[in-house]
């Protein structure tokens, strides 16, 4: 079987997405019923992380254990990609030992270099440009709460970051609309927006929070200052005032709209405690579903949907 990677949603067809979501739902049902699914017994996953993590690390480690496999964690001080050893050499050496590699790194270019030299499948655990695993888990969450993905309006409010990019790529593959409300100078990457639109994706970029939130099925946000932007945190707080999910923004969305956040959250900044803890929040379902979505991804990359 030809090696597959998951570097962004570009690698996924509509059929792949539907297959992954169906498999994730099946694995989740089996886990809840106590049905063992050790379908990756004897396999090893390497986690190559240049950034700290709670959800990505624990969900991948737990998922691989539930699938019967083993995980090796390599943190920033252990591997030092491109410093202690070249990215290409790390990719080729790890591929001789392990069956899957998750890379959580600052640069999409580093991830793509790993993939070009690795013979083991590479999974994007987060880069500056994309976070595909999170959006797959989010889609699983929306299927559970909305019963569908088709026709939904996703209002992304805040920084036009990797999460906004991955949601826009999802709009290229799925019949949903993404409207990103961002301050001037913090819009999503123009090349990403241009490519998605060229391929028929329904995306809108605005500075108007009300335009994004009005009639939305989903209100989505992320932190104003991501990892690596800590020095900008104070200036970003000033710029992003008004780009918050709160009671007033919720009132603009549909009555049954759900509130989503990929976490960690800075309560009182991009989202109020009231919105995060309110009855419309599905934030912690999103976090749980990282486990099930990523198990589906790992199984698909190693064995395919029939594995």
Nearest to 196 by CA among 16, 34, 10: 10
Catalytic residue among 90, 139, 182, 262: 262
Q: Where in the chain is the domain with CATH 3.40.50.1370?
A: 9-131+290-303, 134-286
Edge-to-edge strand ranges of the sheet holding 218-221:
202-206, 177-181, 153-157, 218-221, 258-261
Render pLDDT for 61-74 as a digit per residue (tens, 0 to 9).
999 999 999 999 99
The one catalytic residue among 55, 117, 236, 290: 290
Has 191 been annotated as catalytic? no
Architecture of 134-286 per CATH?
3-Layer(aba) Sandwich (3.40)
Confidence at residue 231, expressed as pLDDT on a 0 to 100 scale:
82
- Our answer to whether residue 280 is catalytic in this structure is no
> Is there a catalytic annotation at residue 117?
no
Number of neighbours of residue 226 by Cβ within 10 angstroms: 18
pLDDT of residue 36: 96
What's the pLDDT tens digit per position in 101-119? 999 999 999 999 999 999 9
**Mind listing the pLDDT tens digit for each residue in 176-206?**
999 999 999 999 999 999 999 999 999 999 9
- Split at pLDDT 50, 70, 90, the class of 146 is very high
Q: Residue ranges of the alpha helices (H) in 128-177?
A: 132-146, 162-173
Predicted confidence (pLDDT) at residue 12 exceeds the cutoff of 70: yes
Residue 66 catalytic? no
Answer whether residue 304 shows pLDDT above 70: yes
Selecting among 55, 57, 117, 131, the annotated active-site residue is: 131
CATH match for 9-131+290-303 among 3.40.50.1370, 1.10.3470.10, 3.40.50.620, 2.60.120.700: 3.40.50.1370
Q: Is 134 a catalytic residue?
A: yes
The catalytic residue among 57, 66, 134, 182 is 134
**Active-site residue, from 55, 104, 165, 261:** 104
Is 262 annotated in the active site? yes
């Amino acid at each position: 079987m030809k090696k597959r990677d998951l570097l962004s949603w570009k690698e996924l067809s509509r059929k792949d997405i539907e297959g992954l979501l169906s498999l994730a739902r099946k694995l989740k049902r089996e886990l809840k019923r106590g049905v063992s699914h050790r379908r990756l017994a004897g396999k090893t996953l390497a986690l190559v992380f240049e950034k700290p993590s709670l959800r990505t690390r624990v969900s991948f480690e737990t998922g691989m254990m539930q699938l019967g496999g083993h995980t090796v964690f390599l943190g920033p001080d252990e591997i030092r990609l491109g410093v202690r050893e070249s990215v290409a050499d790390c990719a080729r050496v790890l591929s001789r030992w392990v069956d899957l590699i998750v890379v959580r790194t600052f640069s999409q270019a580093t991830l793509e270099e790993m993939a070009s030299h690795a013979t083991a499948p590479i999974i994007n655990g987060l880069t500056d440009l994309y976070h595909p695993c999170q959006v797959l888990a989010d889609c699983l969450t929306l299927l559970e709460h909305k019963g569908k993905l088709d026709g939904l309006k996703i209002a992304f409010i805040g920084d036009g970051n990797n999460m906004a990019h991955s949601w826009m790529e999802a709009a290229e593959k799925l019949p949903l609309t993404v409207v990103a409300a961002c301050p001037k100078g913090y819009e999503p990457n123009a090349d990403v927006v241009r490519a998605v639109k060229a391929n028929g994706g329904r995306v809108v970029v605005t500075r108007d929070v009300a335009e994004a939130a009005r009639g939305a099925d989903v209100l989505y946000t992320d932190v104003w200052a991501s990892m690596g932007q800590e020095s900008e945190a104070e200036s970003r707080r000033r710029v992003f005032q008004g780009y918050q999910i709160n009671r007033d923004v919720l009132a603009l969305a549909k009555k049954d709209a759900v509130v989503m956040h990929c976490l960690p959250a800075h309560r009182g900044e991009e989202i109020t405690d009231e919105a995060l803890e309110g009855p419309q929040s599905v934030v912690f379902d999103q976090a749980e579903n990282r486990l099930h979505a990523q198990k589906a991804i790992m199984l698909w990359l190693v064995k395919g949907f029939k594995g």
